């Protein structure tokens, strides 16, 4: 039986906030650590308390599993360097924490590598999402079991949809949450009262959608929104023009999504 080879890591200075440090079983398997310089590699290896500093990408020649966690702005350069400076035919490569999916790793795949991507769904990385080559997904399932994490496998080239869903429920939802709270506060509610009502109302809407899907949207809701737009938008605008614009856009998007023109 061939001896098990250590995995390699290509990373950058900000990895302390990344995904790899949150997976101790992954860290325990790391051998060579490659960064922009040997000094940076050594600093990262010391901070991770895993692996050993390597002076360049050629050190990954002996690794059949390579983890890449670098800023997306540097990813294309890293993939080109890896494909051109070492033999990766048959190697397994995982893109960690990137918005890019495995299909975007054209230089690596052209050089014969098998590629997958891995992301954390939540800040604590208790749930992970992965897509890509089936052999790597099997390895990620094993890793998730060791780490006592939940792994959700998505279809190849569907990461854009995953990111859209998570952003719609997070960063893109935040303006509507802020608008709801500030609207209630402008009406006379305290911040505590306003946030409690927004949280309660949002949870009720999510519960309804979980039970009924798109049927949670009703004609009564659409009618109520149209009436508010017709009779109250002016009053909202006179109180806060930004809030009125946000509200009007929300009504427009809701009606367009749930009641598209046939």
- Is 167 part of any domain? no
In a domain, 1, yes or no: no
Phi, psi at residue 240, to the nearest 5°? -160, 105
Does one domain contain both 112 and 69?
A: yes
Answer yes or no: do 12 and 126 share one domain.
yes
Give me the number of domains the chain comprises.
2
Same domain, 148 and 250: no
Segments of the chain with pLDDT less than 50:
1-4, 262
| 24 and 138 fall within a common domain | yes
Alpha carbon distance 251, 222 (integer Å): 9
Looking at residue 83, what is its pLDDT?
A: 95
Strands 7-11, 65-69: parallel, antiparallel or unpaired by DSSP?
A: parallel
| Any domain includes 142 | yes
Q: Residue 165 domain-assigned?
A: no
Residue 166 phi, psi dihedral angles, 5° rounding: -70, -35
pLDDT at res. 3: 44
| pLDDT tens figures, 223-249 | 999 999 999 999 999 999 999 999 999
Residues 6+ apart with CB under 8 A from 162: 119, 129, 154
Residues 138 and 96 in one domain: yes
Across all residues in the chain, what is the average pLDDT? 93
CA distance 94 to 3: 21
The residue among 126, 157, 188 that closes a domain is 157
Torsion of CA 43, 48, 52, 53, to 10 degrees: -30
Q: For residue 81, what is the domain's CATH number? A: 3.40.50.720
**CB-based contacts of 55: which residues, under 8 Å, 6+ apart?**
38, 41
What pLDDT does 111 receive? Answer: 96
In a shared domain, residues 195 and 99: no
**Predicted pLDDT of residue 9:** 97
| Predicted pLDDT at 157 | 81
Spatial strand order of the sheet with 52-53 comes to: 52-53, 30-34, 7-11, 65-69, 92-96, 114-120, 127-132, 150-153
Q: Are residues 53 and 88 in the same domain?
A: yes
The reported pLDDT for the residue numbered 20 is 94
| pLDDT score of 5 | 67
Residue 4's pLDDT is what? 46
Tokens 């002996």, residue located: 62
Is 9 in a helix, a strand, or coil? Answer: strand
Distances from the Cα of 6 to the Cα of 64, 167, 173, angstroms: 8, 35, 42
Of 70, 66, 69, 8, the residue nearest 33 (C-alpha):
8
Check whether residue 28 and residue 133 sit in a common domain: yes
For residue 2, what pLDDT is reported? 40
Whether residues 75 and 198 share a domain: the answer is no
By residue range, what is the domain housing residue 191? 174-258
Based on the domain organization, do 62 and 91 belong to the same domain? yes
* pTM exceeding 0.85: yes
């Amino acid at each position: 039986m061939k001896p098990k080879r250590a995995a390699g890591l290509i990373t950058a200075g900000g990895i302390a906030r990344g995904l790899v440090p949150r997976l101790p079983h992954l860290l325990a398997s790391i051998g060579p650590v490659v960064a922009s310089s040997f000094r940076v590699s050594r600093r990262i290896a010391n901070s991770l308390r895993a692996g050993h500093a390597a002076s360049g990408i050629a050190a990954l020649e002996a690794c059949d599993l390579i983890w890449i966690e670098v800023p997306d702005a540097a990813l294309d350069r890293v993939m080109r360097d890896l494909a051109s400076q070492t033999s990766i035919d048959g190697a397994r490569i995982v893109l960690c924490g990137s918005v890019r999916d495995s299909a975007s790793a054209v230089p690596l795949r052209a050089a014969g590598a098998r590629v997958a991507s891995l992301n954390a769904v939540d800040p604590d990385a208790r749930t992970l999402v992965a897509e890509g080559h089936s052999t790597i997904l099997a390895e990620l399932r094993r890793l998730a079991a060791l780490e006592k994490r939940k792994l959700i496998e998505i279809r190849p080239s569907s990461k854009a949809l995953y990111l859209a869903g998570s952003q719609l429920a997070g960063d893109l939802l935040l303006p509507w949450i802020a608008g709801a709270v500030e609207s209630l506060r402008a009406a006379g509610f305290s911040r505590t009262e306003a946030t409690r009502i927004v949280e309660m109302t949002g949870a009720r809407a999510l519960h309804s959608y979980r039970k009924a899907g798109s049927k949670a949207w009703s004609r009564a809701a659409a009618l109520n929104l149209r009436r508010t737009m017709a009779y109250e938008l002016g009053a909202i605008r006179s109180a806060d023009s930004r809030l009125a614009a946000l509200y009007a856009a929300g009504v427009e998007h809701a009606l367009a999504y749930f009641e598209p023109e046939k």
